[in-house]
């Protein structure tokens, strides 16, 4: 009898969880986020080049979409998003600025947090490679000689 009651209780919990999830996503009621792309590929760019790109966000739901924050995965990736409500059917832009003075591969992400019922947290990525220019200064520190080291005359 105890096993029966435990099984019945667990079944009710699982069915309740599915029912709640179903009303949030299948019903379509509420703000919904849609992006024009998930990844921006810079390709190969020169050091110091323009590292700005944009992601277009559209509200495909039936209630206002509110983007509460946009956060880069590190200090070299700085997103800018408008926190004003996006009306159903309307769009807004998220601008991402990458510090292209850093030579090497680019593989960063931006986390978008909103009230969207289909994806409250959405992650977009930027990728590519920054190639050093001939006149660029090295990004690694130059080793200083010790004051105690002998000097050649």
CATH number of the domain at 40, please.
2.60.40.10
Question: 10 and 41: one domain?
Answer: no
Q: What is the pLDDT of residues 130-141, one digit of tens each?
A: 999 876 555 544
Using CB atoms within 10 A of its CB, is residue 98 exposed (0-12), middle (13-18) or buried (19+)?
A: buried
Domain limits at 18?
Answer: 1-28
Is there a domain that residue 119 lies in? yes
Residue 71 lies in a domain: yes
Residues 103 and 40 in one domain: yes
The reported pTM is: 0.69
The end-to-end CA distance of the chain, in Å, is 96
Per-residue pLDDT of 47-81, as tens digits, reads 999 999 999 999 999 999 999 999 999 999 999 99
Q: 22 with 55, same domain? A: no
The reply to whether 39 and 24 lie within a common domain is: no
Distance CA 45, CA 100 (A): 8
Give the total number of structural domains in the chain: 2
């Amino acid at each position: 009898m105890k096993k029966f009651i435990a099984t019945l209780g667990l079944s009710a919990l699982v069915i309740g969880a599915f029912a709640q999830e179903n009303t949030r996503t299948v019903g379509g009621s509420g703000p919904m986020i849609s992006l024009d792309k998930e990844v921006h590929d810079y390709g190969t760019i020169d050091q110091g080049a323009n590292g700005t790109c944009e992601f277009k966000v559209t509200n495909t739901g039936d209630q206002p979409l509110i983007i509460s924050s946009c956060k880069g995965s590190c200090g070299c990736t700085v997103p800018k998003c408008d926190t004003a409500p996006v009306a159903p059917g309307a769009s807004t832009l998220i601008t991402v600025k990458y510090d292209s003075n850093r030579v090497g591969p680019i593989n960063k992400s931006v986390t978008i947090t909103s009230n969207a019922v289909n994806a409250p947290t959405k992650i977009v990525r930027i990728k590519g490679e920054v190639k050093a220019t001939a006149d660029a200064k090295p990004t690694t520190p130059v080793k200083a000689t010790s004051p105690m080291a002998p000097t050649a005359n």
